[in-house]
Chain A
Amino acid sequence: MKVNSIQRDMTLKQGNLRLHSESQNFREKNNAGVYENRGYNADYCGSFTGKSEAATTAIKKGFVDKILASKWFGKFAKYSNDHNISTSALIALVLAGVMRPATIMALPGKKDKEDKIYASGHAMASGIIGFLVSTAITSPFDESIKKFFGEPDKYLIEKNVAKKAGRKGSKPTLERMKKAIAYLDKKVETAKTAKYYEPLLEKLTKQTGAMETLAKNIPDWIIGVPRAILTIALIPPILKYVFGVEKKKKEEPPKDTVVNNNSMEIPKMDFIEKPAFQQFKGGVK
């Protein structure tokens, strides 16, 4: 008779730790107690020592560890790998749209405040346009790359179909490479032949990896010029209608008498406001 004991401490004495909530741990403990040993497991009994160790590591976790362990960071890392161009644009948005304006505004300088606001708005607008354009254009390409690298044979135009349409069919290079990798993978698993097939497998894996990297980044090269032109064209209206900022026109040198009169008025006022003239009491006695 086999007795399997599933023991869990449900008292929550150590607070709401990952150990309680994580399904992975949950499964591992079940496996350890039930499926692997097929008997009574003395190693795991829900003791205090085991959990206090986990609690210590949880307390020791710093800020960086917390970020690394968070779900959103895992998603962001995956997004970065799947969408190279969009993530680059997102990082550029944070740097050019948040950090750069903050630095510009914080820097001391002779520049007047309006110039600083304009420069900050310019940086923010370019960051926003870059991110929106990059994400909108490259997301479908990224999706197609993901699909093609997942199942290359599904997206190849067959030669017969292509001939009928008067076009050249795609060469099934990636498909062949993937099949070769799968074949070599099996060969490498068998210890006797591993050393002969390993270098070839490594070479092919690296080459397909390089192909994927290139494929993910080529759209960036294609959209580089139109994106830059679009950014230059869209910055003034975005600044005007979104941020309410307009480029200050350079002051032209005085040409007509009206300007000269205006410029002369200011010292006149200063002159009158001086204390010496304030004390002077004019008029007819």
Chain B
Amino acid sequence: MNVKFNTNSFANNTQNYNQYKQKQPNFTGNPLQNSADVASEIMQDSNLFGPFLKIYDKFTDGIAKHFTSKIVNSKPIIGLASKFKNSDNLFQHCLTVGSVITSGLYMEKTLTNDKLDKDRKKTLAVNQGLTFLVSTVGAYSLDKYVKGWWSKLTEKFAGHLLNDNKFVENFHNHNKTIKEANKKLEEAAKGTSEKPLLKKTAKLEEFVKMQPSYKALGENDAKALISKIKGMSVLRTMIVFGFVYRYFVPVVVTKPANWLCEKYLDYKKSKDNGKNQPSTKA
């Protein structure tokens, strides 16, 4: 026999209603369903948006079948993925390639501009190239610099997602225990020829997957949670690269670079004039 008591004060205060019919305060709705999910459901079911969404769905299916599947399964992508699989900076490299293409276009436009004289064209193109190089190096450095601080934020964020106040503490303790155990194993193996089997410290995603609250989630919710944590990592790089390319360079770097460029052109012009003068005399 299993008896459940509902002892909350609310029930006691509403005796008239609950005297004969004690209701269990259970939660029947999907706890992870938010307003956006509800909105998308409404949109899918509605007669107004339904046809458009179906067309869009078929369109993306077509892209997946005729473009994405071929690109993803192509030799260059598999080769690149194999080469960069251990790189922590793959996303940074992707952003840099995008910037190389855009900067290259602007440099090409400068070099083919008929309104500019030859010297100016070259100097401006070199200026653009150097600005790009310096800012890219700066972006990588800044990204590396804020990585540690951002990881701490990501840990906190994961704790919030799992609704676990002690998540960060547990995560650090878990890795600390592994490190200490490894240290002991290494000390024990000193003087012997055998290599100790050391344990790897857990990465944030791995530790999240170990949590009971994560395991209790459904497949889609678990995927969404991991996607959110992964999103934090790319968000850092996006903010840093965006800050350098779209704010710092135009506001801070461009003016001094242009000033230097003008100074160099003036210097070159005066030098050329100096060279030409004796020849005209002769």
Asked if A88 and B227 sit within 8 Å, CB to CB, the answer is: no
Q: Indicate if B50 sits at the interface (CB-CB under 8 A).
A: no
Q: Indicate if A266 sits at the interface (CB-CB under 8 A).
A: no
Tell me the smallest distance from the CB of A95 to a CB of chain B, in Å.
4
Asked if A77 and B232 sit within 8 Å, CB to CB, the answer is: yes
Tell me the smallest distance from the CB of A78 to a CB of chain B, in Å.
5
Near A by CB (< 8 A), chain B positions 37-93 give 56, 59-61, 63-73, 77-78, 80-82, 84-87, 90-91
A residues less than 8 Å from B97 (CB atoms) = 217, 221
State whether A144 and B64 are in contact (beta carbons under 8 Å apart), knowing that A209-B85, A221-B101 are contacts in the complex.
yes
Bound state CA distance, A149 and B9, in angstroms? 50
Tell me the smallest distance from the CB of A12 to a CB of chain B, in Å.
10
Centre residue among B59, B85, B153, B246 by max chain A CB count within 10 A = B246
The contact string, 1 if C-beta is below 8 Å from chain A, for chain B 224-262, is 100111111011001101110111001100000000000
Q: Which one, A152-160, A236-244, A245-253, A270-278, is touching chain B?
A: A152-160
Asked if B5 and A3 sit within 8 Å, CB to CB, the answer is: yes
Bound state CA distance, A10 and B9, in angstroms? 6
Q: Indicate if A96 sits at the interface (CB-CB under 8 A).
A: yes
Asked if A8 and B8 sit within 8 Å, CB to CB, the answer is: yes
A residues less than 8 Å from B197 (CB atoms) = 195
Asked if B56 and A140 sit within 8 Å, CB to CB, the answer is: yes
Q: Indicate if A183 sits at the interface (CB-CB under 8 A).
A: no
8 Å CB contact of A7 from B8, B228, B246: B8
Bound state CA distance, A221 and B73, in angstroms? 18
Asked if B235 and A214 sit within 8 Å, CB to CB, the answer is: no
Asked if A25 and B163 sit within 8 Å, CB to CB, the answer is: yes
Bound state CA distance, A124 and B242, in angstroms? 14
Tell me the smallest distance from the CB of B171 to a CB of chain A, in Å.
15
Asked if B71 and A218 sit within 8 Å, CB to CB, the answer is: yes
Bound state CA distance, A229 and B27, in angstroms? 55
A residues less than 8 Å from B98 (CB atoms) = 217, 220-221, 224
8 Å CB contact of A157 from B65, B231, B251: B65
For the residues of B in contact with A, the DSSP-based class is helix
Tell me the smallest distance from the CB of A235 to a CB of chain B, in Å.
14
Asked if B4 and A6 sit within 8 Å, CB to CB, the answer is: yes
Centre residue among A25, A100, A145, A214 by max chain B CB count within 10 A = A214
Determine the residue in chain B with the shortest Cβ distance to A172: B73
A residues less than 8 Å from B151 (CB atoms) = none
Asked if B165 and A155 sit within 8 Å, CB to CB, the answer is: no
Asked if B95 and A88 sit within 8 Å, CB to CB, the answer is: yes
Asked if A213 and B91 sit within 8 Å, CB to CB, the answer is: yes
Bound state CA distance, A115 and B36, in angstroms? 43
Q: Indicate if A186 sits at the interface (CB-CB under 8 A).
A: no
Bound state CA distance, A229 and B242, in angstroms? 20
Bound state CA distance, A77 and B235, in angstroms? 7
Near B by CB (< 8 A), chain A positions 68-86 give 68-69, 71, 73-82, 84
Bound state CA distance, A229 and B106, in angstroms? 10
Bound state CA distance, A224 and B103, in angstroms? 10
Q: Indicate if B6 sits at the interface (CB-CB under 8 A).
A: yes
State whether A95 and B227 are in contact (beta carbons under 8 Å apart), knowing that A34-B4, A84-B234, A224-B102 are contacts in the complex.
no
Asked if B69 and A9 sit within 8 Å, CB to CB, the answer is: no
Asked if B80 and A24 sit within 8 Å, CB to CB, the answer is: no
Near B by CB (< 8 A), chain A positions 103-120 give 103-104
Tell me the smallest distance from the CB of A101 to a CB of chain B, in Å.
10
Q: Indicate if A189 sits at the interface (CB-CB under 8 A).
A: no
Q: Indicate if A23 sits at the interface (CB-CB under 8 A).
A: yes
A residues less than 8 Å from B161 (CB atoms) = 74
State whether A170 and B81 are in contact (beta carbons under 8 Å apart), knowing that A7-B7, A23-B27 are contacts in the complex.
no
State whether A104 and B10 are in contact (beta carbons under 8 Å apart), knowing that A78-B227, A81-B234, A145-B68 are contacts in the complex.
no
Bound state CA distance, A87 and B227, in angstroms? 14
Bound state CA distance, A235 and B36, in angstroms? 34
Tell me the smallest distance from the CB of B205 to a CB of chain A, in Å.
10
8 Å CB contact of A96 from B68, B85, B234, B247: B247
Bound state CA distance, A74 and B25, in angstroms? 28
The contact string, 1 if C-beta is below 8 Å from chain B, for chain A 111-155, is 000000000000100010000000000001101110111001001
Q: Indicate if A182 sits at the interface (CB-CB under 8 A).
A: no
Asked if B72 and A211 sit within 8 Å, CB to CB, the answer is: yes
State whether A228 and B102 are in contact (beta carbons under 8 Å apart), knowing that A10-B10, A25-B163 are contacts in the complex.
yes
**What are 25 A-to-B residue pairs whose CB atoms are below 8 Å?**
A3-B3, A6-B5, A23-B27, A46-B8, A68-B153, A68-B157, A77-B157, A80-B232, A91-B238, A91-B239, A92-B242, A96-B246, A96-B247, A144-B63, A144-B68, A145-B64, A149-B72, A156-B69, A173-B73, A210-B87, A211-B72, A211-B81, A221-B98, A221-B101, A228-B102
Residues of chain A having any CB pair with chain B under 8 Å: 1-11, 18, 22-28, 34, 46, 54, 57, 64-65, 68-69, 71, 73-82, 84, 87-88, 91-92, 95-96, 99-100, 103-104, 123, 127, 140-141, 143-145, 147-149, 152, 155-157, 170-174, 195, 203, 206-211, 213-215, 217-218, 220-221, 224-225, 228-229
Given A6-B4, A95-B246, A170-B73, 11 more contacts at CB 8 Å? A10-B10, A25-B163, A27-B27, A65-B156, A82-B227, A148-B72, A170-B70, A210-B87, A211-B72, A213-B90, A215-B72
